[in-house]
Structure 1
Amino acid sequence: MQAEAIMTTPVVTVGPGASIADAAELRLARKIGCLPVVRDDGTVAGIISEGDFLRRQELGTQRVRPRWLEFVVGPGKLANEYVLASGRRVDEVMTGQVVSAPPGASLAEIVGLMTENKIKNVPIVQAGKLVGIVTRTDLLRALLCVLPKSGATTADDDSIRKNVLAELKRQAWSNGGLIGVSVDRGTVELSGAIFDERQRKAAVVAAENVAGVKAVKDSLFCAGPLSVVLVS
């Protein structure tokens, strides 16, 4: 699935010359997390989000340092912080370096950008112009569309058992064939040994994701970490 399939469009935007008050009111009225800043020609100038409103002089939340540290930090950084805390226009406080993606970007690429850059929204840009935006809410909607519906699929017990075993075999954490699987009218029972409690939940999840499984019974035994004794 690609970004263009799930992105929100049209996008609520704000101009670079808009006031901070206008941007804040727009965000609250539309209940959105961020506002792409777009020039008259449709190109992206920046983005303004909750973080850009955190350290404001009006709230008394601007960054304050001891005098000695101000000397170390230098006038350039201090001047930039003053603008962010006291600026009146969007172009004075916005984030200018926008992390964006093309319409054909995969969802894996979008999530990668969000994770690596610690952001919640990725503007979608084509030929330099904003065409959409992918938010975490868009990803949640996409997930909901592809999640299997409970009880939507049926399968015989033998097929379920084979499929659960196959799924476990594909996973490096499953200890090969140490986890046993039995199935009775769609209810899977997991037995055998695991060596880390985190494997228990993973095994249950692996079984739950097999088509036709109605319930999973956990009868796994945790033997603790493997110990190897060398005999000389």
Structure 2
Amino acid sequence: MLVESAMTPSPITVCSSSTIFEAADIMLANRISGLPVVDDKGVLVGIITEGDFLRRHELDTNQRRSWLQSWLASPGKIADEYVRAHGRRVEEVMNTQVVAVGLKAPLSDAVRLMERHDIKRLPVISDGRLVGIISRSDLLRALMKIEKLPAPSTEDAQIQSAVEAELAKQSWSRNGFIRCQVRNGVAELVGTIFDERERRAAKVATENVPGVKAIADNLTWIDPYYGVALPPPVEEELASRS
């Protein structure tokens, strides 16, 4: 499953020039704990969360240090904390180091980023623009959506068997790392490849099987030298047959 099929599209956002009080009001009114920050062209420039409001001079919760801590801290760090505690515009307190995920990325990439950075939500971008947001609750909804899908039909099972049989004949796929799942005529290719040419070959083998309506490419390429896994190219995530 891809990020675009599970995300919340057109998320609530805030402008970098808005005040922190406007941002807080939006969060409270919509019962959300974070807001993507965009410029006037819809480009993602940051994110502001409840955590950015913890150290505020209005609440008398701004950072306090012992004389030793103050002496050890750099002037730049102290200045940055002052801005975050006293700044009144979103751009002054937001986090500009935003972790985001691509629209066509597999859900596994989104989950990996959430775990690695210990965050609950990810902005979804396409060509630099914010197009959605995916959160842990979206993953739960995606799970329930799968549960409600009809079971593969007899025809799907026949198509899947035919694809698997064709792959089994080929020397480049006999390692068993390329698998196929068919539902409602859509053949999803999953697994790992060690040469990008295997991706194209697998798709050609699949599209030539009668009954295949579309191909969802979720194959992951692993660099044989460095062992680094990369997602499929975004422009070829879904190839529909004419």
TM-score > 0.5 by shorter chain: yes
Inter-partner Cα distance in structure 2 for 1:60 and 1:147: 49
Aligned alpha-carbon RMSD (Å): 1.7
User: Is structure 2 residue 115 aligned with structure 1 residue 115?
Assistant: yes
Inter-partner Cα distance in structure 1 for 2:71 and 2:112: 38
Gaps of 5+ in 2: 152-242
The 5-angstrom pairing of residues 12-51 of structure 1 reads 12-51=12-51
For residue 112 of structure 1, what is the amino acid of its counterpart?
A: R
Question: How many Å apart are 1:148 and its aligned residue?
Answer: 7.2
- TM-score using structure 1 length: 0.62
Question: How many Å apart are 1:55 and its aligned residue?
Answer: 1.3
1:41 to 1:148, Cα distance in 2 relative to 1, 3 A:
closer
User: Is structure 2 residue 52 aligned with structure 1 residue 52?
Assistant: yes
User: Is structure 2 residue 89 aligned with structure 1 residue 96?
Assistant: no
Inter-partner Cα distance in structure 2 for 1:63 and 1:31: 27
Inter-partner Cα distance in structure 2 for 1:22 and 1:111: 30
Deviations 1:119-177 (A, max 9, x none): 1110011111001110111111111222479xx99xxxxxxxxxxxxxxxxxxxxxxxx
Q: Which residue of 2 aligns with 1:160?
A: none
Inter-partner Cα distance in structure 2 for 1:105 and 1:51: 28
Provide the secondary structure at the position in 1 that maps to 2:14. coil
Q: Which residue of 1 aligns with 2:216?
A: none
Provide the secondary structure at the position in 2 that maps to 1:26. helix
For residue 115 of structure 2, what is the amino acid of its counterpart?
A: T
Q: Which residue of 2 aligns with 1:67?
A: 67
Most deviating of 47-56 and 16-25 = 47-56
Gaps of 5+ in 1: 154-232
For residue 7 of structure 2, what is the amino acid of its counterpart?
A: M
Q: Which residue of 1 aligns with 2:131?
A: 131
1:104 to 1:141, Cα distance in 2 relative to 1, 3 A:
same
Inter-partner Cα distance in structure 1 for 2:17 and 2:103: 27
Inter-partner Cα distance in structure 2 for 1:148 and 1:88: 46
Identity %: 46
Provide the secondary structure at the position in 1 that maps to 2:11. coil
Inter-partner Cα distance in structure 2 for 1:94 and 1:148: 39
For residue 79 of structure 1, what is the amino acid of its counterpart?
A: A
Inter-partner Cα distance in structure 2 for 1:140 and 1:56: 34
The 5-angstrom pairing of residues 74-223 of structure 1 reads 74-147=74-147
Provide the secondary structure at the position in 2 that maps to 1:58. helix
How many residues get paired?
A: 151
Question: How many Å apart are 1:74 and its aligned residue?
Answer: 1.2
Deviations 1:165-196 (A, max 9, x none): xxxxxxxxxxxxxxxxxxxxxxxxxxxxxxxx
Provide the secondary structure at the position in 1 that maps to 2:133. strand
For residue 4 of structure 1, what is the amino acid of its counterpart?
A: E
**Higher share in strand:** 2
1:102 to 1:63, Cα distance in 2 relative to 1, 3 A:
same
Larger radius of gyration: 1
Provide the secondary structure at the position in 1 that maps to 2:134. strand
Question: How many Å apart are 1:116 and its aligned residue?
Answer: 0.6
Question: How many Å apart are 1:60 and its aligned residue?
Answer: 1.7
- TM-score using structure 2 length: 0.60
Question: How many Å apart are 1:91 and its aligned residue?
Answer: 0.2
